[in-house]
Amino acid sequence: MIPGVFRSALLALIIFGLHGPVFAATCSCAGVPLLTSIDTSATEKGDLFISYSIDDHQISDLVSGSDDVRDETQRDRHSLSQVLSVSYALTDRWAVSALASHVKHSRTIGSSFLGTTTTSGVGDSVILARYSPFFITPFSRHGLSLGLGVRIPTGDDDFGSGITVAEDMQPGTGAYGEILWASYSYAFNQAATLQFNTSANYTRNEENDREYAFGDEFNLAFGVSQSLGARFGYSAALRYRTTRADTRFEFEIPNTGGQWLDFVPAIQYAVTDHLSIGLSGRIPVARKLKGVLQFTTSYSYAFSVTYGF
Amino acid sequence: MSIKPGSNHFSFNLHKTSAGTGWFLKACLLPALILAVLLASKPAGAGSETPPQQLAAEEPFEFNAGLNDVWVNPDAPFQGLFFTVFPDRNLVFAAWFTYDAQTPPEDVTAVIGAPDHRWITALGEYDGNAASLEAEINTGGSFNAAEPVARQETGYGVINVEFANCEQGNVEYDFPPSGESGSFSIRRVANSNVALCEALAGSDPTCSRADPDISHGPDDPPTFGGALVQEEDIFDGGPGPDGIPPLEFPDFIQDAGLIDLDSAELVVGVKVGDDVRAYPHSILNWHEVVNDRFTVDGSTEGATLNYCPLTGSAMLWKAFAERVNKTYGTSGLLYNSNLVMYDRATESLWSQMLEQSIRGREVKRIPDRLPVVETTWGTWQAMYPETIVLSEDTGFSRNYDAYPYGTYREDQVLLFPAANDDDNRLHRKERVLGINVGTNSKVYPISGFSSDVEVINDNVGNMQVVVAGSSGLNFGVVFNRELADCTVLSFDAVQDKLPVVMRDNEGNEWDAFGTAVRGVRRGQQLQKTNSYVAYWFAWTAFFRGADIHQ
């Protein structure tokens, strides 16, 4: 059964979970959100959550610095990611989570004589250990979780019909990544139906075997979540993200990296006491990108299903 | 190919134009004939018919452009012949300035010149050292006027000319209408063109220069699964096919006053037919491929200007497809960090610096290439003030004042793998003029040229080349200095006379495109070589072990 308090937390986690930094960074704009449904909320020993999410990310905005640029090439670029996550509470404070993914990228230049390039395959995986020194209960309004994880390059990074496609079109990164993560929540009422949530995470990316490394990434989010009644909840947050430029041979790749500010709304519905569904989106608010021209997020949305045992 | 009269001048229609040569020749004749008198060692009365000197037989000798000169009969001062040889047409034209066979009565007068002035023109083909020319008489015109239109009377007779060498000849003439016939020996008024004649005559007529090796490397290179290069060596650059959008038949700025380019900005200069164009790097950095059209001999031909900002290399390729789409696009792929294009007719892939298709139906095919000159806007404009410039009004929203790759042009960074990247004999981004001859390769750093125009007569492999370049003017070009008839020219630099950059040992002046613009070889073209300007790291990636000119 999923207590209401957990539902709120769960909702928050959809929004504030590790989102984006750990995978084939599509054009350095956080293409593949691997951890949207990580359950990093309060747990009881033996709790088990399984979550499935699907994320559709459209990456067709052409930007110069902070200015939108008209794209005459009629580019259509988007990524479809499917993530399966499992979280298990070892103790009341310790939990482990594991995620696996499947990614499909597609790229079409509408003005070109050639067709669409598509890649599809198993993506990278994440293993995360979480420690919650304290969490929101009817007797405590504060919750804190700390996480340490590793991204494992289980995905294909040499996809191509002979010619290897670019790194941002690969299902996997081909490189390990180290993840640090923390989240804090404050309940405005004893029932914890209204919460303030914040989270931060940092990912350090290693080089793949072609000496390419996605830029290290930092995310910081602030928002509120609220449960309305027994089954419905919503949240809204602002998320700041910054990445360093990608590198090859340890030299920075021009026109990669930057800063983004996104608005992330979400809703959740508890179908049963064990099953909930959620829908979230990511809407660009502002961005300041490195270099003179980059393609970046137009929008994304995700649908998730979570079952708690 | 007849000479058609136009007023009192000759309309010489070999080139479908009219040219007032008659008055010009007459204007030049008097000084030449005075000179002939001064130089002649045996003055004699006019009209004498000295038996022709027995010419020493010298085998073989053939008419050549070095015979273009004033020739006189030493026994007949103040008259002589002008010969003009057209080697590409196998024709020789003669103009004989002389006098009437009898002195006119004293009451016969002339408004211009003397009433006894006569000239006879003749034209015909030559065979070896001899030519038989059909003589013509023009009459009925008026001085420097269009009317009345002079009449050309053909069939006046025959002039036979034979040259034993560059200094001696014989003329036989037979003019039935006047009953005049005879023969005499001739020699030059001055010997200025003897060396040229000997140089042209010295080339073995049976010699033919080897066809240029248009490929880089083996004539029949191995393939890998039908491709010329290993697929693992081809990288996806990220933008996707035509993600870096090519320009299609773009606009150009015609008005020089509207061109806003810094004089130091690099451009790719193109001269095809009468079309002279500059393509600024600032625009090419964002588009890399420009599908364009040029007018050649009245017909429109397609050609694609391609430039890779990662390797600093520019080329101009003729359209190859016979039908349908003859244009190229950017594939989004890279080989040795260099642009790989695709053609829209067959979707084959083409390596720019290999100058060859590397994959697809056209694999191994080499495009027909036209020369380009990469230089600064200031130098190009000095070369060709009439040039037009690619307009920034391309239809794309690009900031052409911005360079899209940061400090790439100056630093040692490679954004994509390239072979032989540890050859650090030069800075990776040093711009070099490279030439490839078979398996031999040599580079000339642009910065290594002197500030003024420098010319280097060199050998690369089995090719004798001439290199012209300047660090101050920021250009470098290289041509085969062996002509089609196996004549090997040697060159010196020409300063302050752009686009002329060099002069050969015959006195011809040549421009940066290897075209003779002055001299007896005017219009001739030095053979193009497998050469272009590129960054050092790129050249050595494709042509390992290249020599570096010091």
Does position B420 have pLDDT exceeding 80, yes or no?
Answer: yes
Question: Taking CB atoms and an 8 Å cutoff, what residues of chain B touch A63?
Answer: none
Range with the poorest average pLDDT among B12-16, B58-62, B449-453: B12-16
Does position A30 have pLDDT exceeding 50, yes or no?
Answer: no
Interface touch B399/A165, C-beta < 8 Å: no
Section B230-250 average pLDDT: 92
Residue A63 phi, psi dihedral angles, 5° rounding: -130, 140
Question: Taking CB atoms and an 8 Å cutoff, what residues of chain A touch B240?
Answer: 75, 107-109, 112, 117
For chain A, say whether B414 makes contact (Cβ under 8 Å). Answer: yes
Question: For an interface test with A, which of B285, B342, B413 has the most A Cβ atoms less than 10 Å from its Cβ?
Answer: B413
For residue B195, give the 3-state DSSP assignment.
helix
Section B159-169 average pLDDT: 92
Section B392-417 average pLDDT: 94
Question: Taking CB atoms and an 8 Å cutoff, what residues of chain B touch A27?
Answer: 238
For chain B, say whether A99 makes contact (Cβ under 8 Å). Answer: no
B466 Cβ contact partners less than 8 Å away, ≥ 6 residues apart: B455, B456, B457, B458, B478, B479, B481, B489, B490, B491, B502, B526
Interface touch A72/B329, C-beta < 8 Å: no
Question: Taking CB atoms and an 8 Å cutoff, what residues of chain A touch B231?
Answer: 162-163
Confidence of residue B3 (pLDDT cuts 50, 70, 90): very low
Section B66-80 average pLDDT: 92
Interface touch A114/B237, C-beta < 8 Å: no
The dihedral built from the CA positions of residue B14, B18, B20 and B22, taken in this order, carries a sign that is positive
- Give the residues across from B437 on adjacent strands: B440
Q: Which of B305, B326, B328, B475 is nearest to B390 (CA)?
A: B305
Distance CA A237, CA A239 (A): 6
- pLDDT at site B322: 61
Nearest to B404 among A72, A111, A292 (CB): A292
Instruction: Give residues 155 to 194 of A whose Cβ lies within 8 Å of B.
Output: 160, 162-169
Q: In angstroms, what CA-CA distances link A2 with A11, A35, A230, A309?
A: 12, 20, 11, 8
Does position A90 have pLDDT exceeding 80, yes or no?
Answer: yes
Quote the tokens at residue B448: 């290594």
The whole-angstrom distance between B238's CA and the closest CA on chain A is 5
Does position A94 have pLDDT exceeding 50, yes or no?
Answer: yes
Does position A63 have pLDDT exceeding 50, yes or no?
Answer: yes
Interface touch A162/B231, C-beta < 8 Å: yes
Section B268-281 average pLDDT: 95
Q: What's the distance, Cα to Cα, between the start and end of chain A in Å?
A: 7
Nearest to B242 among A64, A111, A168 (CB): A111
Quote the tokens at residue B134: 């059909």
Interface touch B232/A164, C-beta < 8 Å: yes
Distance CA B350, CA B373 (A): 22
The whole-angstrom distance between A59's CA and the closest CA on chain B is 12
Question: Taking CB atoms and an 8 Å cutoff, what residues of chain B touch A72?
Answer: 245, 395-397
- Pick the residue from chain A with its C-alpha nearest to B343: A113
Interface touch A162/B241, C-beta < 8 Å: no
Q: Which of B309, B417, B237 is nearest to A168 (CA)?
A: B237
| Cβ count near B192 (within 10 Å) | 10
% of chain B exceeding 90 in pLDDT: 64
By CB atoms closer than 10 A (0-12, 13-18, 19+), residue B541 is buried
Instruction: Establish, for the pair of chains A and B, how many residue pairs have beta carbons separated by less than 8 Å.
Output: 91
- Pick the residue from chain B with its C-alpha nearest to A256: B405
Nearest to B243 among A70, A73, A164 (CB): A73
Does position B4 have pLDDT exceeding 50, yes or no?
Answer: no
Quote the tokens at residue A264: 């992330």
What angle is formed at CA A57 by the lines to CA A56 and CA A61, rounded to 5 degrees? 150
- Pick the residue from chain A with its C-alpha nearest to B416: A248
The whole-angstrom distance between A25's CA and the closest CA on chain B is 12
Quote the tokens at residue B84: 């003009």
For chain B, say whether A101 makes contact (Cβ under 8 Å). Answer: no
Instruction: Give residues 190 to 229 of B whose Cβ lies within 8 Å of A.
Output: 225
Confidence of residue B70 (pLDDT cuts 50, 70, 90): very high
The whole-angstrom distance between A64's CA and the closest CA on chain B is 9
For chain A, say whether B351 makes contact (Cβ under 8 Å). Answer: no
- pLDDT at site A156: 80
For chain B, say whether A139 makes contact (Cβ under 8 Å). Answer: no
Interface touch B397/A72, C-beta < 8 Å: yes
The whole-angstrom distance between B375's CA and the closest CA on chain A is 25
pLDDT, tens digit (0-9, with 9 covering 90-100), for B328-349: 999 999 999 999 999 998 999 9
| Cβ count near B176 (within 10 Å) | 11
pLDDT, tens digit (0-9, with 9 covering 90-100), for B198-226: 878 765 556 666 766 777 766 667 777 77
Question: For an interface test with A, which of B232, B242, B287 has the most A Cβ atoms less than 10 Å from its Cβ?
Answer: B242
Q: Are B156 and B175 in contact (CB under 8 A)?
A: yes
Does position B41 have pLDDT exceeding 70, yes or no?
Answer: no
For chain B, say whether A248 makes contact (Cβ under 8 Å). Answer: yes
Q: Are B194 and B70 in contact (CB under 8 A)?
A: no
The whole-angstrom distance between B530's CA and the closest CA on chain A is 28
Nearest to A112 among B234, B242, B405 (CB): B242
Does position A37 have pLDDT exceeding 90, yes or no?
Answer: no
Nearest to B231 among A27, A69, A163 (CB): A163
What pTM, to 2 d.p., does this model score? 0.75
Mean pLDDT of all residues in chain A? 85
Question: For an interface test with B, which of A292, A295, A296 has the most B Cβ atoms less than 10 Å from its Cβ?
Answer: A292
Mean pLDDT of all residues in chain B? 86
Question: Taking CB atoms and an 8 Å cutoff, what residues of chain A touch B238?
Answer: 27, 166-169
Confidence of residue B36 (pLDDT cuts 50, 70, 90): very low
B472 Cβ contact partners less than 8 Å away, ≥ 6 residues apart: B450, B451, B452
The whole-angstrom distance between A152's CA and the closest CA on chain B is 24
By CB atoms closer than 10 A (0-12, 13-18, 19+), residue A273 is middle
Confidence of residue B520 (pLDDT cuts 50, 70, 90): confident
pLDDT, tens digit (0-9, with 9 covering 90-100), for A120-161: 999 999 999 999 998 888 888 999 999 999 999 998 877 766
Q: In angstroms, what CA-CA distances link A89 with A12, A140, A274, A305, B532?
A: 18, 20, 16, 19, 66
Section B241-249 average pLDDT: 94
The residue written with tokens 């191994």 in the block is B364
